[in-house]
Amino acid sequence: MPEKNQNRRPATSQMNLLLRIVIGAYLLYITYDMRDHFGEAAFTVAGIVFTVVGIWLIANSLKRIFQGDYDLLDNQGNIIEPDDIAELEALDDDLDKLADAVQQEEESGL
């Protein structure tokens, strides 16, 4: 069994990044909804913080999505390592070859 790296950051999937975009958009919406109260100090500070955090969440998540800087997870939520991806692609190629061979055998047997 592979040893887990204790220094590894938590897994960040595409779904996590999309959720961060939604949260950032919601923070911007809350800021827009509070605009009538910006004369009060607490609402002004909250509006500035929500705006900065919302923009950062959206920009950072979009950047990571477009750069492909996220983890691929299997159905159980385990991180699929790059070595595992190469192995799975090789198995997929072998499976395709096997399916082609079976199809050719069926066609020649008919």
Domain ranges of the chain: 12-70, 77-110
Rounded Cα distance between 75 and 2, Å, is: 19
Supply 3's token pair.
């040893």
Q: What is the pLDDT of residues 9-41, one digit of tens each?
A: 555 777 788 899 999 999 999 999 888 877 788
For 40, the 3-state DSSP assignment is coil
Read off the pLDDT of each residue in 61-85 and give the average, rounded to a whole number: 69
pTM, rounded to two decimals: 0.58
pLDDT at 51: 94
8 A C-beta contact, residue 29 and residue 53 = no
Strand pairing of 72-73 and 79-80? antiparallel
- Closest C-alpha to 31, from 45, 20, 19: 45
Q: What is the pLDDT of residues 74-109, one digit of tens each?
A: 555 566 665 656 666 777 777 888 888 888 877 776
**Higher-confidence position of 93 and 45:** 45
Rounded Cα distance between 73 and 12, Å, is: 9
The distance of Cα 51 from the centroid of its chain, to the nearest Å, equals: 23
Query: Which residue has tokens 């919601």?
Result: 26
Query: Which pLDDT band, with edges at 50, 70 and 90, does 1 fall under?
Result: very low
Q: Which residues are CB-neighbours of 52 under 8 A, at least 6 positions away?
A: none
pLDDT at 73: 61
pLDDT at 71 over 80: no
pLDDT at 16: 83
